[in-house]
C-alpha cells in the first residue's frame, strides 16, 4: 500500500502534461538561410503563464532560446530567435532567422507551470534545415499581354551558382543568369539578389506560354505552373445614334388590330354599303333594259323582212313633218337602196 502511494505521488507532476496539452506540427523543413516560424497552441487556463522555446529532445536537458518574460526575445526582425504570445488566440509564435545546417534537431514549445507538484506543459517538434529550392507560389496566372513574376528561393550553398529558368520538357528553352546574376530579353527577365532569391518576370504573355516551368540552381529544381488567360473582349455593342437634322424618320401608326368587339361595332356600316351597292346595281340594270326596249319598239321605223332594210311605217307618212326628199336614209346593203312607199 505504501509503495502504491509513493508511485502515485511520483507520477502526480506528470498528470498536467497528459490532461492539458500544448500542440504544434511534429516536423518542419526549412531551406538554409531562410526563417522558421512555429505556432504553439495551448489551453485557456495557461493564457497568463510564461511561454518558452528551447532546443533539446528532453525536458530536463533543453537549452532555453527565448522566453515571453525576457524583453530581449521580442523582436522577430532583428533577433536570431524571438517569441510572441497572443493570449486572445491562445497561441505563441516562435521565429528563428537565417537558419543554418547545424541548427537542425529537436525543439520544444513549453508553458512554465512551476511548483513542486506540477511539471511544465510541453510539446516537441523536429526541425530540418535542408539544401535545395522552394518557390513562393507554385502557380501564377496572368492575362494575355500582361506580365507575371515568379520568386524562386534557394539555400545558402547555391548563392554563387548559376540559376536557370526552363520550360518543362524542353531543356533547349532554358535561359541562364550571367556573371552579374541577371538575364533579359523581350519575353523574360531574371534577377538574382545573391542572397537566397532569384526573380523571373515573364513579359507580354501569350496564350501559348501556358505550361509548366522549372526554377533551377545547380542540380536542384522546382516546378512552377504558369497560366495565361485570354484578354477580355473589347468589342462594344453598337448603339443606335439619334437621327441627324438631314435624316427623315417616318413615324408610321401602329397597325390596327381587328377584334370581335371592333368588328361588331363597324359591321352595320358594311351592311349599309352592301345594300346601297345592290340597289344602285338594280337601278342601273332597270335603266338599261328600258332604253333597249324603247329602241326595239320605235314608232317610225320597222325592219323590212323582204329587203333586209327599213321602211316608213304605213299611216305615219302624212304626219311626218320632215321633208322626205331632204332626209337621209341609210341602207345596210345595196339591195335595200330602193324605197317603196305603200
**pLDDT by residue (tens digit) across 50-85?**
999 999 998 888 999 999 998 887 777 778 999 999
pLDDT of residue 317: 42
User: Strand 220-229 and strand 301-303: pairing?
Assistant: unpaired
Specify which residues 176 forms β-bridges with. Answer: 164
Give the C-alpha separation, 312 to 304, whole Å: 9
φ, ψ dihedrals at 311, nearest 5°: -140, 160
CA 78 from chain centre, in angstroms, equals 46
pLDDT tens over the chain, length 342 residues: 455 444 444 444 444 444 458 999 899 989 888 899 999 999 999 999 999 999 999 888 899 999 999 888 777 777 899 999 999 999 999 999 989 989 999 999 999 987 655 688 999 999 999 888 888 899 999 999 999 999 999 988 888 888 999 999 888 889 998 888 889 999 999 999 888 899 999 999 999 999 999 999 888 889 999 999 998 876 655 555 555 554 444 445 555 555 555 545 555 666 777 777 888 888 888 888 888 877 776 554 444 444 444 444 444 444 444 444 444 444 444 444 444 444
SS3 content of the chain, % helix, strand, coil (to 5): 20, 35, 45
Query: Would you state the cell numbers that stand for residue 289, as one nine-digit string?
Result: 333594259
What does the pLDDT read at residue 199? 94
**Residue among 71, 53, 72, 199 nearest 140 (CA):** 199
Selection from 49, 56, 79 nearest residue 66 by Cα = 79
d(CA 24, CA 53): 12
User: What is the CA 323 to chain-centroid distance, rounded?
Assistant: 112
Give me 148's grid cell.
507575371
- With a CB cutoff of 8 Å and minimum separation 6, the contacts of 340 are 311
- Tell me how far apart the alpha carbons of residues 129 and 37 are, in angstroms, rounded to a whole number: 13
C-alpha 107/C-alpha 26 separation (Å) is: 10
| Domains recognised in the chain with CATH numbers | 14-130 (2.60.40.10), 133-229 (2.60.40.10)
**Exposed e or buried b for every residue in 137-152, given b needs 16+ CB within 10 A?**
eeebebeeeeebebeb
Q: What pLDDT is stored for residue 250 in this prediction?
A: 45
Amino acid at each position: 500500500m505504501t509503495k502504491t502511494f509513493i508511485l502515485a505521488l511520483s507520477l502526480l507532476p506528470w498528470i498536467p502534461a497528459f490532461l492539458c496539452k500544448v500542440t504544434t506540427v511534429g516536423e518542419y523543413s526549412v531551406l538554409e538561410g531562410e526563417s522558421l516560424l512555429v505556432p504553439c497552441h495551448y489551453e485557456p487556463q495557461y493564457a497568463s503563464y510564461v511561454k518558452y522555446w528551447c532546443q533539446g529532445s528532453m525536458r530536463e536537458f533543453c537549452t532555453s532560446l527565448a522566453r515571453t518574460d525576457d524583453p530581449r526575445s521580442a523582436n522577430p526582425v532583428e533577433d536570431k530567435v524571438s517569441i510572441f504570445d497572443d493570449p486572445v488566440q491562445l497561441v505563441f509564435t516562435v521565429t528563428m532567422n537565417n537558419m543554418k545546417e547545424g541548427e537542425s534537431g529537436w525543439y520544444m514549445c513549453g508553458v512554465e507551470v512551476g511548483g513542486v507538484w506540477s511539471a511544465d506543459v510541453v510539446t516537441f517538434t523536429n526541425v530540418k534545415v535542408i539544401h535545395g529550392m522552394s518557390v513562393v507560389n507554385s502557380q501564377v496566372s496572368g492575362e494575355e499581354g500582361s506580365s507575371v513574376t515568379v520568386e524562386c528561393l534557394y539555400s545558402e550553398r547555391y548563392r554563387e551558382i548559376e540559376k536557370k529558368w526552363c520550360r518543362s520538357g524542353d531543356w533547349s528553352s532554358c535561359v541562364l543568369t550571367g556573371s552579374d546574376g541577371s538575364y533579359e530579353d523581350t519575353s523574360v527577365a531574371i534577377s538574382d539578389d545573391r542572397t537566397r532569391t532569384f526573380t523571373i518576370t515573364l513579359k507580354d504573355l501569350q496564350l501559348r506560354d501556358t505550361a509548366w516551368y522549372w526554377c533551377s540552381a545547380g542540380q536542384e529544381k522546382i516546378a512552377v505552373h504558369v497560366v495565361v488567360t485570354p484578354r477580355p473582349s473589347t468589342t462594344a455593342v453598337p448603339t443606335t445614334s439619334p437621327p441627324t437634322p438631314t435624316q427623315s424618320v417616318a413615324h408610321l401608326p401602329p397597325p390596327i388590330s381587328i377584334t370581335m368587339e371592333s368588328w361588331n361595332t363597324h359591321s352595320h356600316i358594311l351592311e349599309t354599303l352592301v345594300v346601297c351597292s345592290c340597289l344602285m346595281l338594280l337601278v342601273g340594270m332597270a335603266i338599261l333594259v328600258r332604253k333597249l326596249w324603247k329602241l326595239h319598239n320605235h314608232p317610225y321605223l320597222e325592219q323590212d323582212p323582204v329587203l333586209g332594210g327599213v321602211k316608213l311605217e304605213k299611216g305615219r307618212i302624212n304626219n311626218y313633218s320632215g321633208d322626205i326628199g331632204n332626209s337621209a336614209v341609210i341602207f345596210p346593203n345595196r339591195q335595200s337602196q330602193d324605197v317603196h312607199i305603200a
